[in-house]
Amino acid sequence: MLELTERDRELLDLIAKAGIITFEQAKKVFPSKQYYYHRVRKLRQNGYVKTEGGYIRLGRKGKSEVGLDKEFRPSDQTLDSWAQFGNICLELSNWEIVSQARVRTFYNLGRDVLHMRGIVRHGRRDHLLYLLRKGGEKRVGLVKAELERLKSAVGLDSAVVFCDSPKTMQAFGEDPCGMRELMLLPYPYGALVMNAYITPEYQDYLKKLMPGALTEQTFADRETPGCYYADFILNDLVKRANLKAALPFLKKPVKIVCLPSQQELFERIFPGLGIVVAGPPV
């Protein structure tokens, strides 16, 4: 009987979150290449994982260890896309990730939910997670329809959509899809930013950039007697829409907080507003 190590359990947890991973992703869990080969071979021989081609999925004992009943079986055409999600699981190490399988079971979702990869969670905030890869502009309409359907059916009204090309981000546009929060971020840089963004150190840094008290306004985050501060580092499309709607009626100015790579975008979207450029968290 194989005695599982802490790294073994980390690997099984990663596969449970992502559904399927590559050998390169598995190597990042273990301290050395030699030890990685040894442990994956032992896990395969004892029924904890299965290896097919360049991919690793859970075996019968692995599913039992992590508490999954159903086997994840993506089609051959989507293997690479699903394996890419393994990188996101590794990059969002400061966030709790709930796998698509667990989300499906908890909310009793049907097979028509095809694009959602899972949920990312920080504190009490749950965000549906999507990854649109190159060519994903063809699926933008399907993703938007799924977002609206999940909000209506089970009340999931916050999401993160990663896009791995500027063309796909442009195709998604500015539509907040009726969500309460919808972050549209480039991949992979956006995942690294999102992971570092929630650290106490970076949040303390942002408080220095945005003085004043928290505001109840939906287009901003903080306010002083002289202005509002709107944090757009995570590019929330809902907040962007709220700010556009509120601007004609505001009696004090708004300052936008963004990263250097976002400055040109927000100067174009909100001409004339003050820009506070934040140091990148990564």
Chain segment 9-57, per-residue pLDDT in tens = 999 999 999 888 999 999 999 888 888 889 999 999 999 999 988 899 9
Q: Are 234 and 162 in contact (CB under 8 A)?
A: no
- Look at the domain 1-72 and name its fold: Arc Repressor Mutant, subunit A (1.10.10)
Chain segment 86-123, per-residue pLDDT in tens = 899 999 999 999 988 889 889 999 878 888 999 999 98
Q: Are 122 and 96 in contact (CB under 8 A)?
A: yes
Parse the chain into domains and list their residue ranges: 1-72, 92-197, 200-277
Q: Using DSSP, state whether 270 is helix, strand or coil.
A: coil
Chain segment 144-190, per-residue pLDDT in tens = 999 999 999 899 999 999 998 889 999 999 999 999 999 999 999 99
Q: Which pTM value belongs to this model?
A: 0.91
Angle between helices 79-91 and 6-18 (to 10 degrees): 130
Q: Are 190 and 178 in contact (CB under 8 A)?
A: no
Q: What is the pLDDT of residue 76?
A: 62
